[in-house]
Structures are given as structure tokens and as C-alpha cells.
Structure 1
Amino acid sequence: MDNILQVENLRKVYGNLEALKGVSFEVKKGEIFALIGPNGAGKTTTLRIVATLLTPSDGKVTFMGKDLRKNPDFVRENISYLPEEAGAYKNMKGIDYLKFMATFYANNQMELEEFLNRAKEISGLEDRLKDKVGTYSKGMTRKLLLARALMTKPTLAILDEPTSGLDVINALEIREIIRAYVKEGTSVLLSSHNMLEIEFLSDRVALIDKGKILEIGRPEELKEKHNVKNLEEVFRRVVQ
């Protein structure tokens, strides 16, 4: 399986704070790769660098064989990024928001319609797409945003806490959507504090703390290595 993303010795310094201290990992084609760690561990900084929103202090990111620093536009054309605190325009109807976002990626009207139809299917919001986003529940808004992130069938989707704050049913539906799109060829770089979600979704997991990767492996491998029953216990042992 070829690597779609290669992160090598990534460092990020903010003044006297070294947020990333040589982070290295790869994401394979058709894989869901998760970064987990406590608050302030460096997860979101890493995701933002890969999404070209932050510039690394040192290290290298290679996406589809191209250097991220030298080819930022190519990277942006082939990835999507869903931040934890993402929002949609509350005064727009759901369908109008999706149309507006699709115009940034579509090269022609046919492609725009293709993106829009896919977004409708992903969101599952049906007639509620005719209503203003401000009337949506948190779960509905998150489905709309996930539809925006996946409608172009990106090569890599970067998802930061995709089910944060959602109830069990909405969280399960979003996880199923993510899994379905991976089967269609999209790779995923995921961050979440929900260890059950990580176990359900991820092919491989990296545990990060204080800007360093401490462990990488399949969930089952990590549980077996540490002789525990779930990733929460792996997390606690490794971080402590």
C-alpha cells in the first residue's frame, strides 16, 4: 500500500514554546490514521500544518510525492480539512451553503452538480437543506460540514474531532459515512478524544504527547503490547 502522506521530523516553534519536537508518521492509501493525545499534545498543530494553514519550523511533509512547501496549491486541491470548531453561515440555507462551497472546487457546471448531489447524499438532511443553517441542531450542522468536506472525494480528508459534542446516534452515522468514503478511496487523517471512536474507525493510531510521537500501531497491536482491553488504557499507560 503506497503512502499518500509522509511526515518527517516535523517541528513547530512558537517563541519559547516547542509545540512539535520531530513528529514523523505516514498515512497509507485508503487508510484511516488517527492522532490521539491529551490537550496541548500537538495534534491540531500537526493537522493544520498538513492542511497548509501553518508553516512548520522544520521538517518535511510530502503529499502524493510532492513537497508541501513547494506545492501548497496542489495539496489544497487534493485535501479537505474539517476543524473541530468549524461552522457554517447561519443565515444561509443548507443547500445554498453547499452550492457556495462547491463553487470553490468545481471546474464547470457539471462538476458542481456532481459535488452538490454527493453532498446531499452524504448529509442525509433531505428537505432540511431548504432551511437556514441557524435552525439546525449540532448534529445536523456537523453532517452538513462533513458533506462539505467529502463532496469532492478528496485524496486526503483531515478531520479534527468529527463527532465532538454529538449524541450516540449522530456520532454513529458520521462514523459510518467516514468509513464508506474510505472504501471509495479517500484516506483520512483523524484526531479525536473519543477512544471508542478511534477503535471503531482507525486502521492505525499514533499517540502523541508534548510534541512527540510515543507509539504507532494498529489498535489491536497496541492493546496486546500493553496487555490492556481498550485504547483508553493504552493511552493512559503511554502518556503517564
Structure 2
Amino acid sequence: MPAVEVKDVWRSFGKKTVLRGVSFEVEEGEVFGLLGPNGAGKTTTLRIITGILKPDKGDIIVYGKSVVREREEVRRMISYLPEESDVYLRLTGYENLKFFAMIYFDDPKEREEAIEEGIKIANLGDAIHNLTKTYSKGMRRRLALARTLMVRPKLAILDEPTSGLDVYSSIKVRDSIKEFVKKTGASVILSSHNMLEVEYLCDRVAFIVNGKIITIGSPEELKREFNAKNLEEAFVKATEVGEGAA
């Protein structure tokens, strides 16, 4: 059974249809990428999977539970990193992790284990005890990612995890995601504009344009399918084919 099944999901805002029958599956332990331009429907798809938004039509099954009918049960299995997520600037890095752990765990031992895990994922050294208002954007993003992954969700949903970060910070974030999946066997769904990031991180990728999935495959499969040197070129060719068929 797939970890996630997205089934014919439609969503409109007013008269604008944002998602048009989006369907895909994510296997357990897989990193699945949604790749598309601004306005393609990536963030809307992720928010529907988390239960933040409801689909107009369709359903999402997460580890056998329906997001539409069993939203609270699904949300207990999920951790979500929005693109605009930030940290509490008046707290230290450590205090941010502790605060989040207290929300998730009642047991003191589980809380401490989660905090220690978060410290490792953030990899901020002694700066973990500094106020986060002194952090760079990259440091804050690494802390936000640590806060998301330290609770060991069965499914982590990451919206543009390295958006606006420099090369060094982006590498740190990508390595943390890879290590998380290797260590826990959890599934990850992420959206990104960064083709290099998607090619490095993702087992499979879905190209989404104008609310529709154009094609799905591993980065290597997509490059072969579209006779492309890299994923960026494959995406451009796939988009041209999709528009031609519309």
C-alpha cells in the first residue's frame, strides 16, 4: 500500500480553478517532488494533503486514512514546513525546539529525545543557545526544518525547503532531509523551483503545470523520456508537450 494516494483532487478559489484532477502516489520511504512554476498548484496541493485546505473534489489517503474524513488522525502523522515558516525570534534556537517538542509530546523522555534530534538536524553548534533574532536566514531555515523533522513524522511535507538560501545553507538543508529519510524510513513530499535540488533529493518527480500533472518519473526516467541533458530541460520539453496536447 502506498504511503500517500492523491486521488483526482480538484480545488478552486472563486472562479479560478487551481487544481484540475491531480493524482499521484508516494511510496513509503520515498522522497517525492512536485516541480512547477509559480501558480502551478504546488503549495495548494501540499496544503490539501496536510488538511489545511479541503479539496472541492477527490481525496487523499495517508497511511490508510482519509484526509477528508479523518483529518485529525492524518495530521498526527504529518509534519509540515511551509515556505514562509519562520522561528520565534525572541527565543533561542534551543528554546524554539523545546517549545515545539512540548506541543507534540507529553512524555518528558520523548520531549528530550526530540530536542536532541532537533539539535543534530539543525547542526548550529553553540549558536543553538543564541537568540534566533541574531541568526541568518539560512540558520533560521535549518532550525525550522529541524523543528519539522525532529518529531519523526511518518510523512514530512516541505514547501520550498531551501527557498532564498545561499549555497552553503541549501546543502545543509538537503543533507538533513536525506539523512532524515535514511534514518527513519519516512516519506517526504516537497515542492521546489530548484532543479538541482529536486534531482539530488527526489526518487520520483511530478511535473505540475496549470493545476495538472503532466508526467511522473524518476529524474533519470524523465531525462530519457524527453531526451534531455538535465531535469530543467526535461521540464521545459514536458511543458511544451503538455501545452501542445491541451
TM band (smaller chain): over 0.9
Aligned match of 1:194: 194
Q: Distance in 1 between matches of 2:70 and 2:105?
A: 20
Q: Distance in 2 between matches of 1:96 and 1:76?
A: 24
Shift in Å, 1:69: 1.5
Cα contact 2:50–2:67 (8 A) shared by 1: no
Question: What amino acid sits opposite 1:172 in the alignment?
Answer: I
Q: Distance in 2 between matches of 1:88 and 1:180?
A: 22
Aligned match of 1:225: 225
Aligned match of 1:153: 152
Shift in Å, 1:126: 2.4
Question: What amino acid sits opposite 2:230 in the alignment?
Answer: N
Shift in Å, 1:107: 2.5
> What is the DSSP-based 3-state SS (H/G/I as helix, E as strand, rest coil) of the residue aligned with 2:79?
strand
Q: Distance in 1 between matches of 2:126 and 2:175?
A: 21
> What is the DSSP-based 3-state SS (H/G/I as helix, E as strand, rest coil) of the residue aligned with 2:104?
coil
Question: What amino acid sits opposite 2:118 in the alignment?
Answer: A
Kindly provide the CA deviation profile for residues 157-206 of structure 1, in whole angstroms up to 9, marking residues without a partner as x: 00011111111121111111101111121210010000000000000000
Query: Segments of 4+ in structure 1 off by > 6 A?
Result: none
> What is the DSSP-based 3-state SS (H/G/I as helix, E as strand, rest coil) of the residue aligned with 1:104?
helix
Kindly provide the CA deviation profile for residues 73-119 of structure 1, in whole angstroms up to 9, marking residues without a partner as x: 11111111001111111111111111111111112111110111100
Cα contact 2:12–2:56 (8 A) shared by 1: yes
Q: Does 1:104 align with 2:103?
A: yes
Aligned match of 1:124: 123
> What is the DSSP-based 3-state SS (H/G/I as helix, E as strand, rest coil) of the residue aligned with 2:76?
helix
Q: How does 1:19-98 map to 2 (within 5 A)?
A: 19-98=18-97
**TM-score normalised to the size of structure 2?**
0.95
Q: Distance in 2 between matches of 1:214 and 1:144?
A: 34
Q: Distance in 2 between matches of 1:10 and 1:167?
A: 35
Q: Distance in 2 between matches of 1:131 and 1:107?
A: 26
* Structure 1, gaps ≥5 residues long: none
* Structure 2, gaps ≥5 residues long: 241-246
Q: Does 1:239 align with 2:239?
A: yes
Question: What amino acid sits opposite 2:63 in the alignment?
Answer: M
**TM-score normalised to the size of structure 1?**
0.98
Q: Distance in 2 between matches of 1:36 and 1:7?
A: 16
Q: Distance in 1 between matches of 2:167 and 2:143?
A: 17
Aligned length: 239
> What is the DSSP-based 3-state SS (H/G/I as helix, E as strand, rest coil) of the residue aligned with 1:169?
helix
Question: What amino acid sits opposite 2:209 in the alignment?
Answer: D
Kindly provide the CA deviation profile for residues 202-235 of structure 1, in whole angstroms up to 9, marking residues without a partner as x: 0000000111000000110110011111010011
Kindly provide the CA deviation profile for residues 144-165 of structure 1, in whole angstroms up to 9, marking residues without a partner as x: 0010000011101000111111
Aligned match of 2:244: none
Aligned match of 1:211: 211
> What is the DSSP-based 3-state SS (H/G/I as helix, E as strand, rest coil) of the residue aligned with 1:49?
helix
Question: What amino acid sits opposite 2:26 in the alignment?
Answer: V
Cα contact 2:87–2:140 (8 A) shared by 1: yes
Question: What amino acid sits opposite 1:145 in the alignment?
Answer: A
Q: Distance in 2 between matches of 1:132 and 1:161?
A: 25
> What is the DSSP-based 3-state SS (H/G/I as helix, E as strand, rest coil) of the residue aligned with 1:3?
coil
Question: What amino acid sits opposite 1:44 in the alignment?
Answer: T
Q: CA RMSD in A?
A: 0.8
